[in-house]
Structure 1
């Protein structure tokens, strides 16, 4: 098994000690250094040239984990695998945008951490399940079709089970206008039926 050189970065000495002992129990993973802050991690990565840096996000005063990740990845010293307790959309987005190869939560099982380190060393993405779910939701949101306000209104009426005539009355428009909007909605959602439109709208969270 190819050796993976790992640098630990966490501002809690007890956490670093626990990670050091844990990784020492796994063949093929070698901790080559430790850092208690962002500046220290950047310097250690440049000096020790590990394959993977295990990076916490919150590092106390000074450079945080996101900025340290950005500097390390820009210099191409190593892959950065975030290991943190924070799983908010903002934290995940900032870390990934900074160049992190993976994002793991500290609650993961040891074998998941080992696998993630090896994946990161090979340049493969490693995400905790809750993080992967948030990332997918973000992608789906970005890829959601751009519906007009009127089309969203009509989708909402469709979801209530109303027919074209009732939708026209509710929105004070003609039935012909409703049909025109429906055709555009179907095209944007890639469906051919009212049921399909409602199902896609719910899945993509498009309903008003």
Structure 2
């Protein structure tokens, strides 16, 4: 059974970067092999879930042996295309957008914020971190020139859908949405919603009940 033969659940796909990051840490610590139990303890994910996730991609380990760390690392690196740099643009350079630009995914050198956009004349043309803030009117042209593949939206909710329309019209297929709005996008465009209020509420729930 391979990923070409079966539809992989979205929940599994969202866990793959967690697996990659943890396995990369093991590799850098000169660990040769790891069991699903050790993965479970390190990631706080049930070992049965880990084995099920891995099973979608074929035989990644051996019973009684576990998983070869170097093999897993190369597998996840290829699967997540970690040998390629993903270019990201941020739209909306307010407090959150500014913080993200300055952070610039320093935890992962395979993702890079290469462009920043805003609609405010007070911000356009200014430097934030190492990036000049471009006028949103020029989004499609600049996004194509710089090879943007993913967009992070940190705009006011009342303009989120209009901005998403501009983004998808420019051929961008990935949006990380920090606004409270649920976006309508064409088929084939992937949107991940980050609702900080919901995440905090979920955290408090687990704190109280576990």
**TM-score, structure 2 normalization:** 0.39
Which one has the largest radius of gyration?
A: 1
**TM-score, structure 1 normalization:** 0.39
Q: Between Structure 1 and Structure 2, which shows a larger proportion of helix residues? A: 1
